Amino acid sequence: MDTRLVYFEDEAVPARRLAEAAGLDASVIKRHDFPDQELLLTLASPLDDALPRTLVLYRSLDRPNDKLVELLLLARHARRLGVTRLVLVAPYLAYMRQDIAFHAGEIVSQPLIGAFLGELYDAVITVDPHLHRISRLEEVMPGIQTRTLSGAPRLAALIKEKRRNPLLMGPDDESIQWVEVAAATTGFDHGVCHKVRHGDTRVDIALPDIDLRGREVVLMDDIASSGHTLARAAEALLAAGADSVDVAVTHALFAGDALEVIRRAGVNEVWSTDSIAHPSNAVAMAPTLGKALGEVLGEVPGEMKSEAQ
Ligand code: R5P
């Protein structure tokens, strides 16, 4: 067998969907957490039984710290056994937001985590990584194959099924990229708010100059983390006369009580892609990931190219 996909038990559903879309055999990696928090990983189908030339790991990097150790252990193990090509499919890529030092002394994690992954894996496929001050993932992971996909087209299709004539709204200037993609494919009106962040859970939102009275608004963003960005935007929209506010995000991080924070702000429905397993998942990324994975696997190492899709 030339290529095998492996995944962890907690992501069996999206990983198996991807394996099916890409036509790959898939097997699980079991994880045991020792009382002292060290990890023991066990491959249900040991690699040395039938060594694949290429190994694809599906691991979304929400709650990333332990997972970075998983990635290290698996990659080094596979290389030791003789696997020649390692592909990481990480629908959510962590540590991409700290791309500059906002305060003196802060360690800029984006290029460091990027280099760590780039040294371990030959290719990384991800969805809507938080790249705002650089434009391409390969700048963070030089020399390896990268594919940057987006959840926006699939979220746009879902919104079109669910709402007749919504106003698509981004909660901050950066979200224009997803809102514009969705507006272009659906023809819906769109706009973005302006956000000023004062801390992890303190943001101010200023609305654009659009008549919101009676509108069904869908807020679109890449990430919902603490939920405060979406909550403040929803409150402002409803106060300005919007009829309803729904939320569509690529990455459902929803840390702590984020979902409750969003609901308390008056949000109606919350939809997300399955880039991070969460009850709000309404869109599977497998077709998009499967196509990109097929292309990456089809490229000849040495003539590899990187491109955003
Ligand atoms: C930031 O620019 C991102 O696009 C999101 O708006 C942000 O990460 C959301 O964070 P939170 O949910 O904690 O407000």
**pLDDT in the model for residue 307:** 47
> Both 119 and 40 in a single domain?
yes
Residues 26 and 86 in one domain: yes
> What is the predicted pLDDT for the residue at 301?
58
- Contact, 9 vs 58, CB < 8 A? no
Cα of 71 from ligand 1 centre, angstroms: 26
Strands 202-206, 194-199: pairing is antiparallel
CA-proximal residue: ligand 1, atom 7 (nearest): 223
The count of structural domains within the chain is 2
pLDDT tens digit sequence for 189-241: 999 999 999 999 999 999 999 999 999 999 999 999 999 999 999 999 999 99
Both tokens assigned to 115: 């280099």
Residues 295 and 275 occupy one common structural domain: no
The residue range of the domain holding 55 is: 3-150+285-308
| 194 and 46 belong to one structural domain | no
- Give residue 7 CA to ligand 1 midpoint distance, Å: 28
Question: What pTM, to 2 d.p., does this model score?
Answer: 0.93
Is pLDDT at 160 greater than 90 in this prediction? Answer: yes
Residues 130 and 16 in one domain: yes
What distance lies between CA 148 and its chain's CA centroid? Answer: 10
Q: State the closest ligand 1 atom to the C-alpha of 222, by its place in the atom list counted from 1.
A: 4
The distance of Cα 86 from the centroid of its chain, to the nearest Å, equals 20
Query: Are 136 and 235 within one domain?
Result: no
Same domain as 223, residue 162: yes
Residues 85-116: tens digit of each pLDDT: 999 999 999 999 999 999 999 999 999 999 99
Same domain, 63 and 130: yes
Give yes or no: residues 135 and 176 share one domain. no
If one compares 133 and 55, the residue with the highest pLDDT of the two is: 55
pLDDT band for position 45 (50/70/90)?
A: very high
Classify each residue of 38-60 as buried b or exposed e, where b means 16 or more C-beta atoms within 10 Å of its C-beta.
eeeeebeeebeeeebebbbbbbb
In the block, residue with structure tokens 């708010």? 193
Ligand 1 pocket: which of 62, 225, 249 to mutate (most atoms within 8 A of CB):
225
Please tell me whether residue 126 adopts helix, strand or coil conformation: strand
Q: What percent of the chain has pLDDT over 70?
A: 96
pLDDT score at 253: 97
Domain identity same for 55 and 30:
yes
- Tally Cβ neighbours within 10 Å of residue 63: 12
**What does the mean pLDDT of the chain come to?**
95
Minimum-distance ligand 1 atom for the alpha carbon of 253: 12
Q: Is residue 101 located within the same domain as residue 113?
A: yes
pLDDT, position 49: 86
SS3 assignment, position 31: strand
The CATH number of whichever domain residue 105 belongs to comes to 3.40.50.2020
User: Is 7 in the same domain as 120?
Assistant: yes
